[in-house]
Amino acid sequence: MRFLNELYPSGEAQLRALMEPGPEGPIVMVNLLKFKENAAYEDARATTLSGREAYNLYGREVVKLVQEVGGRLLFGADVTFLMLGQAEPLWDQVVLVEYPNRAALVRMAMSPAYQEIAVHRTAGLAGQLNIETVPQFVSAKG
């Protein structure tokens, strides 16, 4: 198994697949995030922000956009330990975000409001894995 952290879909095939309708019903995106030590903006602006701090600027705003397309943040946590398997280096954070469907995710990502805040995402992330999943079961509450 191999993995490659990236910031955007790699290649035409991956981009075309993203534009397909996808599974029916809700999807949950599993985001495995790796932060840069220091934020690095593409416009070369001076900053003292860490990569995590820059990404958090993006994160606070993207949650609002996710809600506008009918989605919701399900879970976010720091990665602290790898119990099984091998990955070097470990990701820094895991975030789960539910969307009503893939089209909602694409609509949000193509919006002008998203493009405006994405500069902080790019400045803060060294890379990520973004995995689309389809919920199969839900844990019982109470």
CATH of the domain at 33: 3.30.70.100
In a domain, 142, yes or no: no
**Sorting pLDDT into bands at 50, 70 and 90, what band is 39?**
very high
The pLDDT of residue 92 is above 60: yes
Is the residue at 85 inside a domain?
no
HSE value, Cβ hemisphere, 13 Å, CA-based, for 102: 15
> Is residue 140 in some structural domain?
no
Residue 141 falls inside a structural domain? no
Residue 116's closest CA among 53, 64, 47?
Answer: 64
Cα separation, 119 vs 105, in Å, equals 18
What's the domain count of the chain? 1
26: pLDDT strictly greater than 70: yes
Residue 139 lies in a domain: no
Kindly state whether residue 1 falls inside one of the protein's structural domains: no
pLDDT at residue 121 is higher than 50: yes
Peptide linkage before 21 cis (omega within 30 of 0): no
Among 7-16, 99-108, 129-138, the range of highest mean pLDDT:
99-108
In a domain, 7, yes or no: no
Residue span of the structural domain in which 95 resides? 23-80+90-133
End-to-end CA, the chain: 38
Nearest to 99 by CA among 32, 30, 33, 29: 29
Could you tell me if residue 13 is inside a domain?
A: no
